[in-house]
C-alpha cells in the first residue's frame, strides 16, 4: 500500500507533491500540466488546468498498481470546494475525524470541503482503471468574479461557498448521474490547441459544475431515480441512447430496443424520460433532426438525400417536423447556409 500526505498551499503544488510521492514527470503546454506516470506505482496521467477566478481542473486517467491513499490537508490558503466524478472506476472518501470510508461508485458525484487543518482521505483501489474528473474552486477568488452570484444557490451550498475562512466541513454523496459522463466524453473529444483548447475546456468545466449543483438541488428536493429502474438498468438505457446518437439512420423501434436491451418497454420509456426528458420515439426523432440539420449545413447533400440517409422514409413528414422544431423548412435552411458559407 502507498499512503502519503499532500499539504498544498496552491493548486500547482498538488501535482508536484503527487509526483514526489509516486514518481513520473510533468509536461507543460499552454498552462496545461500533465503528470505522466509509468512505474511500479501507477500507469497513466493526471492533468491539471488552471482557469481564472480560482477554478481549476484535475483530470485522472490512471491505474494504481498498489492500493493508494492520499491524505489531503486543508490549508488555510488553499482549501477548495472539490467536485469529484468518476466516469470509470470508483474511490472512497472520509474526513480525518471519521473512521468509516464512504464509497463513490462509477457515475456518482461527490462534493466536499474541510475545515482548515483537517484531512481528506481519498482511497484508490489496486489495479482498477480510473477516469476521475475533479473541479476545484478556491472560494475567495471565485467570489470576486463579477458574474458570480452564489445567492442563487440553495441555502446549503450558499453557506459552503461563502465560508471563505474554512470554518466548516461539508460532504455530499450524489446519486447516479449519467449526463455528467456525456459531458466528460465531450471534454475528452476537444482537439483544438493552445488558447482555443483551454477556452473550450473551461466552458465544459462550468457546464459540469452547473450539473453538480443541479443534482445537489434535486437531492435536497428529494427527487430520486425512477423507482422502476435500478442503476444497472439506467446504464443500459444510456448505452442504447448513445447507439442511437452514433447511428441515427438505423431502424429503431421501441419493440426492437426492448428485445436487444433486455428491458421492458415500460422501463425503456421511464429510462429515456429520466435521462433525456423524452420518450424513446421523441428521442429518436430529435437525434435524427439534429443529424439532418448538421448534414444540411456541412455537406452538399440535397434535402431528399439527407432524408433517406438519416432513416426517414417520407420527405413531406420530415419537412413538417423540421419546420416545427426549427421554425424554417429544410430547403430554406439549406439555402440560408449556402448564402453564409
Q: By the 8 A CB rule, do 68 and 3 touch? A: yes
Contacts of 334 (CB under 8 A, 6+ apart): 296, 302, 303
Question: 144 exposed, middle or buried (CB, 10 Å; 0-12, 13-18, 19+)?
Answer: exposed
Q: What per-residue confidence (pLDDT) applies to 30?
A: 85
Q: Return mean pLDDT, the chain.
A: 91
167 and 251 in a single domain? The answer is no
Tens of pLDDT, residues 258-273: 999 999 999 999 999 8
Instruction: Report the 3 state secondary structure along 314-333.
Output: CHHHHHHHHHHHHCCCHHHH
Report pLDDT for 224.
Answer: 64
Q: Give the chain's length.
A: 341
Residue 226 counted as domain residue: no
Q: Whole domain around residue 322: which residue ranges?
A: 231-340
Spatial contact of 255 and 220, defined as CB atoms under 8 Å apart: no
Which residues are CB-contacts of 147 (< 8 A; sequence separation ≥ 6)? none
> What would the pLDDT profile of 168-208 be if each residue is shown by its tens digit?
999 999 888 888 998 998 898 898 888 899 999 999 999 99
pLDDT per residue as tens digits for the range 18-68: 999 999 999 998 889 999 999 999 999 999 999 988 999 999 999 999 999
State pLDDT tens for residues 289-333: 999 999 998 898 999 999 989 988 899 999 999 999 999 999 999
Residue 225 belongs to a domain = no
Question: Would the pLDDT of 110 be above 80?
Answer: yes
Q: Of the candidates 189, 93, 165, which has an alpha carbon nearest to the alpha carbon of residue 134?
A: 93
Is residue 4 very low, low, confident or very high in pLDDT (cuts 50, 70, 90)? very high
> Residue 246: pLDDT above 60?
yes
Residue reference for cell 438525400 = 305
Angle of the 231-246 helix axis to the 254-261 helix axis, nearest 10: 130
Q: Are residues 282 and 312 in the same domain?
A: yes
Dihedrals phi, psi of 301, to nearest 5 degrees: -65, 140
pLDDT value at 227 more than 70: no
216 and 259 assigned to the same domain: no
Instruction: Tell me the pLDDT band of 95, cut-offs 50, 70 and 90.
Output: very high
Separation between Cα atoms, residue 56 and residue 211, nearest integer Å:
16
206, 264: one domain: no
pLDDT of residue 22: 96
Is the domain of 191 the same as that of 45? yes
Q: Which pLDDT band holds residue 151 (cuts at 50, 70, 90)?
A: confident
269 and 163 assigned to the same domain = no
Residue 18 falls inside a structural domain? yes
Q: Do 149 and 251 fall into the same domain?
A: no
What is the count of structural domains for the chain?
2
The last residue of one of the domains, among 188, 220, 252, is 220
Instruction: Report how far residue 58's alpha carbon sits from residue 14's, in angstroms, rounded to the nearest whole number.
Output: 9
**Rounded Cα distance, 232 and 208, in Å:** 23
For range 107-121, the mean pLDDT: 95
111 & 181 share domain: yes
| Residue that finishes a domain, picked among 220, 247, 269 | 220
Based on the fold, state whether residues 274 and 163 are members of the same structural domain: no
Report residue 320 as a C-alpha cell.
413538417
C-alpha distances out from residue 19 to 32, 66, 137, 240, Å: 16, 15, 22, 40
Last residue of a domain, which of 220, 255, 290? 220
The conformation of residue 278, written as its DSSP 8-state character, comes to S
Residues 167 and 260 in one domain: no
Identify the CATH number of the domain in which residue 293 sits. Answer: 1.10.10.60
CATH number for the domain that contains residue 31: 2.60.120.10
Above 70 in pLDDT, residue 341? no
Task: For residues 2-8, give the mean pLDDT.
Answer: 93
Query: Hey, what long-range contacts does 7-10 have (CB within 8 A, 24 or more apart)?
Result: 7/73, 7/75, 8/72, 8/75, 8/78, 9/75, 9/77, 9/78, 10/77, 10/78
Amino acid at each position: 500500500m502507498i499512503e502519503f500526505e499532500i499539504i498544498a498551499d496552491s493548486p500547482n503544488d498538488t501535482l508536484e507533491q503527487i509526483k514526489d510521492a509516486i514518481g513520473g514527470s510533468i509536461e507543460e503546454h499552454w498552462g496545461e500540466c500533465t503528470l505522466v506516470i509509468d512505474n511500479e506505482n501507477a500507469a497513466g496521467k493526471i492533468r491539471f488546468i488552471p482557469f481564472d477566478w480560482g477554478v481549476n481542473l484535475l483530470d485522472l486517467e490512471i491505474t494504481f498498481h498498489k492500493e493508494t491513499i492520499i491524505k489531503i490537508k486543508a490549508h488555510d490558503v488553499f482549501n477548495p470546494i472539490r467536485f469529484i466524478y468518476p466516469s470509470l472506476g470508483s474511490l472512497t472518501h472520509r474526513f480525518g475525524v471519521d473512521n468509516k470510508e464512504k464509497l463513490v461508485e462509477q457515475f456518482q458525484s461527490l462534493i466536499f470541503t474541510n475545515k482548515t487543518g483537517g484531512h481528506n482521505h481519498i482511497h484508490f483501489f489496486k489495479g482498477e482503471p480510473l477516469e476521475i474528473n475533479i473541479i476545484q474552486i478556491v472560494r475567495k477568488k471565485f467570489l470576486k468574479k463579477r458574474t458570480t452570484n452564489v445567492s442563487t444557490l440553495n441555502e446549503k451550498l450558499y453557506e459552503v461557498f461563502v465560508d471563505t475562512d474554512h470554518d466548516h466541513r461539508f460532504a455530499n454523496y450524489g446519486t447516479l448521474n449519467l449526463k455528467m459522463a456525456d459531458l466528460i466524453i465531450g471534454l475528452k473529444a476537444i482537439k483544438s490547441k493552445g488558447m482555443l483548447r483551454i477556452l473550450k475546456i473551461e466552458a465544459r468545466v462550468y457546464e459540469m459544475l452547473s450539473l453538480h449543483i443541479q443534482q445537489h438541488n434535486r437531492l435536497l428536493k428529494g427527487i430520486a431515480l425512477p423507482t422502476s429502474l435500478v442503476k444497472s438498468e439506467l446504464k443500459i438505457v444510456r448505452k442504447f441512447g448513445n447507439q442511437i446518437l452514433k447511428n441515427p439512420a438505423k431502424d429503431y423501434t421501441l419493440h426492437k430496443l426492448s428485445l436487444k436491451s433486455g428491458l421492458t418497454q415500460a422501463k425503456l420509456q421511464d429510462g429515456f424520460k429520466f435521462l433525456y426528458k423524452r420518450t424513446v420515439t421523441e428521442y429518436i426523432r430529435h437525434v435524427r433532426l439534429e443529424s439532418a440539420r448538421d448534414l444540411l449545413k456541412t455537406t452538399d447533400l440535397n434535402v431528399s438525400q439527407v432524408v433517406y440517409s438519416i432513416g426517414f422514409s417520407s420527405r413531406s413528414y420530415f419537412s413538417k417536423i423540421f419546420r416545427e422544431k426549427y421554425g424554417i423548412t429544410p430547403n430554406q435552411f439549406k439555402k440560408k447556409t449556402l448564402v453564409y458559407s
